[in-house]
Amino acid sequence: MQNGQAKMVQVTALRKKFGHRVVLRDVNFAFSTGEVVGLVGPNGAGKTTIMKALLGLLATDAGNVRILGQPVSVNTHTVVTQQVGALIERPAIYPFLTGWQHLQLMTTSGEQMTWVVQVLQMEAYIHRPAKRYSLGMKQKLGIAMALVNRPRLVILDEPMNGLDPQSVKRLRHLIGQLAGEGITFLISSHVLSELEKIIDTVILIDQGEVLLQRTMTQLRESARQALVVRTGRRKMHGPCRCFYRQTIQ
């Protein structure tokens, strides 16, 4: 594939076992620059494992990952360190550093730090040591660290965890704004009602297998048709939720 045409993310035949337990079986998917992609599936489906593989944090057994056409593995992750921001599981927080000092670990741009603190409304506590942060404050700091460099790809694992409704709304707007600027997002969440407000594409996985990848437009149309056949009604809420319920047993 030529560089100009490279997908933002291309995952091919990815496999991973933990001991004898297969947790990823031939996972294939790809998405393009500027897409906001939701990765959804039940607990233990393999979402975090996929995200770790995308970041080169996990040795896989087979298959490959490419970001912007460049290979990613535990030994090869230059593209990740240069172009990707991420929050996986809990943010890595040093208790005695302030939030501001955490941001300084990620960038030298004071302008970028001020921007992210303002948009996520962290002014009141950004200069306090992080050991005094609440769960939601730590989560916002983790998101801020993922975004502060305005990377080309942002990977967020359950970013809404611990956020109050106002912060969820702000995060949603921020993701929309950054996507409008061409930043690509891969976001996992169990809060499908929130997720489907921001994503363009959904990848549904279960037991380490991709069950479907659809644009939200395709999903809305299929869900509407399924609803008309079943109930005769045309109005439908929550296409992601609808398909999730139909697909996951």
Ligand X SMILES: Nc1ncnc2c1ncn2[C@@H]1O[C@H](COP(=O)(O)OP(=O)(O)OP(=O)(O)O)[C@@H](O)[C@H]1O
Residues that bind ligand X (CB under 6 A): 18, 23, 41, 43-49
**Residue 7 Cβ vs ligand X, minimum distance, rounded to whole Å:** 22
- With b meaning 16 or more CB within 10 Å and e meaning fewer, what string describes 165-191? eebeebbbebbeebbeeebbbbbbbee
* Minimum CB distance to ligand X smaller for 138 or for 220: 138
* Minimum CB distance to ligand X smaller for 46 or for 99: 46
Total Cβ atoms within 10 A of residue 227: 17
**Residue 45 Cβ vs ligand X, minimum distance, rounded to whole Å:** 4
**Residue 224 Cβ vs ligand X, minimum distance, rounded to whole Å:** 28
**Residue 85 Cβ vs ligand X, minimum distance, rounded to whole Å:** 19
* Minimum CB distance to ligand X smaller for 51 or for 103: 51
Question: What are the residues whose beta carbons fall under 8 Å from the beta carbon of 135, sequence distance 6 or more?
Answer: 161, 162
**Residue 243 Cβ vs ligand X, minimum distance, rounded to whole Å:** 17
Closest alpha carbon to 47 in 143, 249, 188: 188
**Residue 42 Cβ vs ligand X, minimum distance, rounded to whole Å:** 7
Residue 53 near residue 98, CB atoms below 8 Å: no
Per DSSP bridges, beta strands 62-67 and 201-206 are unpaired
d(CA 234, CA 123): 46
Residue 64 near residue 41, CB atoms below 8 Å: no
* Minimum CB distance to ligand X smaller for 73 or for 218: 73
* Minimum CB distance to ligand X smaller for 5 or for 43: 43
* Minimum CB distance to ligand X smaller for 21 or for 235: 21
d(CA 184, CA 33): 6
